[in-house]
Amino acid sequence: MNIKRIVFVFFCSLVFSPALTAADKAPVEDDYYKILRYDIPKGEVMEVGALEFMPDGRLAAGTRRGEIWMIQNALDPDPKKAKFSRYARGLHEVLGLAAKGDWLYVTQRCDLSRIQDSNGDGKADVFEVVNDGWGISGDYHEYAFGSRFDKNGDLWVVLCLTGSFTSNSKFRGWAVRIAPDGKLIPTCSGIRSPGGIAANADGEMFYTDNQGPWNGTCALKHLVPGGFMGHPDSFKWYHLAKNLGSAPEKPHTNSRFMTEAKRIPQYVPPAILFPYGKMGQSASGIECDLSGGKFGPFAKQMFVADQTHSTVMRVALEKVNGHYQGACFPFRQGFGSGNVPIRFAPDGSLIVGGTNRGWGSRGPRPFALERLTWTGKAPFEIHEMHAKPDGFELTFTHPVDAKSAGDPKSYAMKTYTYIYRAEYGSPEVDPTTPTIDRVEVASDHKSVRLVVSKLHEGNIHELSAGGVRSNDGLPLLHKEAYYTLNYIPAK
């Protein structure tokens, strides 16, 4: 054999082979996060609306048909080993579960109840109302989503409006807290149609609201006590919320979120806007990754499900001028039904429940219960996106290739927002196309600085980083990032 040829082959394999591998088979989500599907007992309909882990490790699943199922061995690597038993039935559309001591707290349409199996036969037999201080009129849209307990021991409930536009029953369109003594504390007005509620790593409560009147697109919103979240029909209940004083000024229709935020002190603009059709169409369940790395490199980030697109998206928040804002990223698609609740298991896997009754979904199954597990291999992703006075800083999950990551042509950016208005939804408006003037790659190759002219305060900044390669020559698993730039930091 010709020695020269051997050297050449060796050289090739050294320099080109990672790139070739990458080109041969572009990485896919399934290489990093696997979807496992549980077999629902035959003949049962389990339209999952809420998930919780019991102190003894059982997974509790509440359903829209008003049942609660207990699932043993839910975390076995083989989902077929899971054992289902019906714990309760006859509840009214369960959309919140929280375990505390011997009790399972259940948020249903009409109240927050706590339930218990007092005789140990595996079925709940005590159903106690904890608080029922809100109204229901018989309108199907009046859903109630419950959180788990916050750092003060309060449980939060977000109350969907009567239909899309109006609040016809007490506290519809509000977030309320139920204190440990069972008292109801009116907390935020302005809710439209929530899909989930959970705290972030700081213990601050967030909920998702859906595209509709006063909501140009779906969003993740920070529930600041005393805050107004955007839909003014809820104002009619301020007379029952003496702790909050009088109603805020009504927002002007056909305005912009940040225009009104400057005018109305109580108004809390959305922390994250999910661009409609790009990042789902019906934002739902929320979870914060507190697994300390068991779910991969995204510790303390938020995950948000989408019912229409059957996806789980990823959110990295930061605080600018005292307000939460940040970026959302695609994360995992391909779930079986319309995702509603998500819940981290103690082992760091993510349980995902779904239903597409009444609202269609990409996932074709009428209902599903699934588990998303990390393979242990970190995908090459934009880890975080931070706003800077003159652009953005991106951090990555793997060191980047300095040449591609340092080339402004590897990135493209456009900005837009949505109309804040009484009408249903909104088109994308106010488009601008900033230029990426310069990119500085950090010496550790773990982050880059994008110098951009010019940023547009109040707009979503949609970034596509298609040209960036990792040190190993891999493209980003997801090249898009969408930053809701409510505020540009001063430094």
Partner 1 sequence: MLVCSTRLSSPYFLLPLTILLLAPSYGTTAEKAPKPDGRPIVPGFERFYNDAMADRLQGGRLLWGELSCASCHEAESGKQATPSNKQAPILDNVGVRVRHSFFRKFLRDPQAFKPGTTMPDLLAGNDAAERERQVEALTHFLASTGTLKRVRADFVAAAQGKQLYQQAGCVACHGTRDGEGNPDKVLSTSVPLGDLRAKYSIASLATFLENPHTVRPSGRMPAILNNKEAIQVGNYLLRGQALAKAAANVRYSYYEGSWENLPDFEKLKPLAEGKADGFDLKAARRGNNFALRFEGYLHLDRAGEYRFHLTSDDGSKVFVDGKQVVVNDGIHPPSLVSSKVRLDKGTHKLTTGIFNGGGGVELLVEIQGPGLPKQPVAPLLTLNPEGNPKPATQPVDPAEDDDFAIQPELATKGRELFGSLGCASCHQLKIGGNPIVSTRQSPAMGKLRAEGGCVSEKPAKGVPNYSLSATQRGALTAAVSSPAPAAKASAGEMIQRNLTALNCYACHQRDKRGGVEPAVDALFATTQPEMGEEGRVPPALDGVGAKLRLDYLKHIFNQGAHDRPYMLTRMPRFGEGNVPGLAEAFVEADKGKLEPVAAVKFDEPASRVKSAARKMCGGNSLGCIKCHTFAGHKAEGVQGIDMLLMPKRLQHDWFYRYLLDPQKLRPGTRMPTAWTNGQTVLEDVLGGSTAKQIESIWVYLQADGKAALPAGLKKNSIPLVADKEAIIYRNFIEGAGARAIGVGYPEKANLAFDANELRLALVWQGEFIDAARHWTDRGVGFEPPLGEGILRLPTGPAFAELAKDDELWPTNPAEESVGKFRGYRTSTDGRPTFRYAYRGFEIEDFPNAVSGKHSATIRRTLSLRAEKSPSNLWFRAAVADKIEDLGDKKGYRINGESTMRFGEAQAKIRKSGGKMELLVPIQFRDGKARLTQEIEW
Q: How far is the CB of 254 from partner 1 (least distance, A)?
A: 5
Q: How far is the CB of 15 from partner 1 (least distance, A)?
A: 31
H or E stretch at 385: strand 382-388
In the bound state with partner 1, the residue whose beta carbon lies nearer, of 170 and 438, is 170
In this structure, what are the phi and psi dihedrals at residue 276, rounded to the nearest 5 degrees? -65, 130
Q: How far is the CB of 252 from partner 1 (least distance, A)?
A: 8
In the bound state with partner 1, the residue whose beta carbon lies nearer, of 132 and 437, is 132
In the bound state with partner 1, the residue whose beta carbon lies nearer, of 310 and 325, is 310
Query: What residues make contact with partner 1 under the rule CB under 8 A?
Result: 45, 64-66, 89-93, 108-111, 113, 118-119, 121, 124-129, 132, 136-138, 140-141, 164-165, 211-213, 252-256, 259, 276-278, 281, 308-310, 333-334, 356-366, 423-430
Q: How far is the CB of 126 from partner 1 (least distance, A)?
A: 5
In the bound state with partner 1, the residue whose beta carbon lies nearer, of 277 and 293, is 277
Q: How far is the CB of 90 from partner 1 (least distance, A)?
A: 3
In the bound state with partner 1, the residue whose beta carbon lies nearer, of 200 and 356, is 356
Long-range contacts formed by 176-180: CB under 8 A, 24+ apart = 176/133, 176/134, 177/150, 177/225, 178/112, 178/130, 178/131, 178/154, 179/152, 179/153, 179/154, 180/153, 180/154
Return the number of other C-beta atoms located less than 10 Å from residue 56's C-beta: 8
Contact (CB, 8 A) for 366 and 359: no
In the bound state with partner 1, the residue whose beta carbon lies nearer, of 301 and 356, is 356
Q: How far is the CB of 89 from partner 1 (least distance, A)?
A: 7
DSSP sequence for 292-333: TTTT-S-TT-EEEEETTTTEEEEEEEEEETTEEEEEEEEEE-
Q: Which two tokens stand for residue 470?
A: 């990792």
Q: How far is the CB of 356 from partner 1 (least distance, A)?
A: 6
In the bound state with partner 1, the residue whose beta carbon lies nearer, of 301 and 310, is 310
- Evaluate the omega torsion of the peptide bond into residue 491 and state whether it is cis, within 30 degrees of 0: no
Sign of dihedral through CA atoms 18, 19, 23, 27?
positive
**Rounded distance between C-alpha atoms, residue 466 and residue 464, angstroms:** 6
Q: Residue written as tokens 């989500």?
A: 29
